[in-house]
Amino acid sequence: MSPAPLGVGIVGLSASRGWAGTAHVPAIRAIPGLELRAASASSAASGQAAAEAHEVPIACADAAELAAHPDVDLVVITVKVPYHAELVRHAIAHGKKVLCEWPLGNGTAEAEALTAEAAERGVHAWVGLQARATPAIRHAADLVATGEIGEVLSTTLVGVGGEWGGVVRPGGEYLIDAANGATLLTVPVGHAVDALAWTLGEFAEVSATVTTRQPTVRHVETSEEMTMTAPDQVAITGTLAGGAVVNVHFRGGNTRDQKLRWIVSGTKGELVFVGVHGHLQFGMVELFKGTGDDKILSPVEIPGGYELVPHGRGGPSYTVAQAYAGLLRDLDDGGHRTPTFADALRRHRMLDAVQTAADTGTRQRCAD
């Protein structure tokens, strides 16, 4: 007999817009073994409206009620970063499995506390660093590990924030305040460097520039001038644990050029990712390879088996669905496909090293 489906409850589902409805709802419904059963939002009324809009059977008054509900096995936290810690703790208190969007906490101290609390209660706890679930990235990691391009000498990753430019779009107002913990550094850079480190090895040392070049920005609808304290330029240089030289640059706003390009250069060839979206975690990338005497890069066909679920290719739910499928497999065989709170804490600490390097102008060692 097939095991009973895992009942999922989403904290932060909106009736009209938002990442939960765009990415999580379709991803959950695409995975055999998951069943979307409950939803909550900022109020009982908005939770009811969200449940009706997305045809979720149980509307909860708040996150505490959702975490306590007997039909919910997995609590998914999809709210703004400043509320992550409080809401994750409801799931931990009830011994429920929990998946929290990245960043795990508003700063490393919160991430440390949540990781320790989940471990103490023996709770399965994952984080939404889903870029590493991208089939093309998983295949590239195997190509590197098997020596397809030889020893990795260097890697360069350039991306675009979309937000954090000269204008602020509706819904993006909280992103420009660094105190809210959802910045160019913590969100797109955090996702990208996590995938890079998972593919090529962890960062050993970093130097960095993290700065705000446009401190005054304009609201696209009201034309109001607003102050931006979040960075709009992040540049990281350094070395990986294996000795490879690394360069990462993300700029805020949009670009007329390619949105994302990631080059991995080795002694025997190169791997190149080209993306139509500036955020690597959306998985909208193509992989190219050139080895030996190849004069040009050729597209790489991703073998079967890397895509855990054929859902939402080219859309925002694609990598989220891969991460959920990996999560179920991890529960089944004890594997480590989907990142855990411990993985999130490592990334928080690495980004702290980047910020310290930028603040002090000195090269920083990254924790093992």
- Tell me how far apart the alpha carbons of residues 102 and 84 are, in angstroms, rounded to a whole number: 9
- Tell me how far apart the alpha carbons of residues 334 and 309 are, in angstroms, rounded to a whole number: 19
**CB-neighbour burial class of residue 359 (10 A; exposed 0-12, middle 13-18, buried 19+):** exposed
Q: Where are the alpha helices (DSSP H) in the chain?
A: 19, 25-29, 44-53, 63-68, 84-93, 108-121, 135-145, 190-200, 318-333, 341-360
- In three-state secondary structure terms, 244 is coil
- What is the DSSP code string of 66-128? HHH-TT-SEEEE-S-GGGHHHHHHHHHHTT-EEEEESSSSSSHHHHHHHHHHHHHHT--EEEE
- In three-state secondary structure terms, 58 is strand
DSSP letter, residue 146: T
- Tell me how far apart the alpha carbons of residues 169 and 366 are, in angstroms, rounded to a whole number: 35
- Tell me how far apart the alpha carbons of residues 338 and 24 are, in angstroms, rounded to a whole number: 15
- In three-state secondary structure terms, 141 is helix
Given this model, what pLDDT does residue 1 score?
54
- Tell me how far apart the alpha carbons of residues 131 and 338 are, in angstroms, rounded to a whole number: 10
Given this model, what pLDDT does residue 346 score?
98
Q: Are 368 and 202 in contact (CB under 8 A)?
A: yes
For domain 133-306, the question of CATH label 3.30.360.10 is answered with yes
Domain residue spans of the chain: 6-128, 133-306
Q: Which residue has the tokens 């007329």?
A: 256
Given this model, what pLDDT does residue 2 score?
62
* 339: CB partners within 8 A, 6+ apart: 126, 127, 129, 132, 194, 323
- In three-state secondary structure terms, 164 is coil
For domain 6-128, the question of CATH label 3.40.50.720 is answered with yes
Closest C-alpha to 305, from 333, 326, 280, 334: 326
- Counting as low any pLDDT under 50, the low residues of the chain are none
Backbone angles phi, psi at 192, to 5 degrees: -70, -45
- Tell me how far apart the alpha carbons of residues 247 and 262 are, in angstroms, rounded to a whole number: 10
Q: Which residue has the tokens 């969200």?
A: 50
- Tell me how far apart the alpha carbons of residues 342 and 82 are, in angstroms, rounded to a whole number: 19
The reply to whether 6-128 and 133-306 are identical in fold is no
- Helical pair 108-121 and 341-360, crossing angle rounded to 10 deg: 160
* 139: CB partners within 8 A, 6+ apart: 287, 300, 302, 303, 306
Given this model, what pLDDT does residue 314 score?
83
Closest C-alpha to 4, from 60, 73, 64, 63: 73
If you average pLDDT over every residue of the chain, what do you get?
A: 96
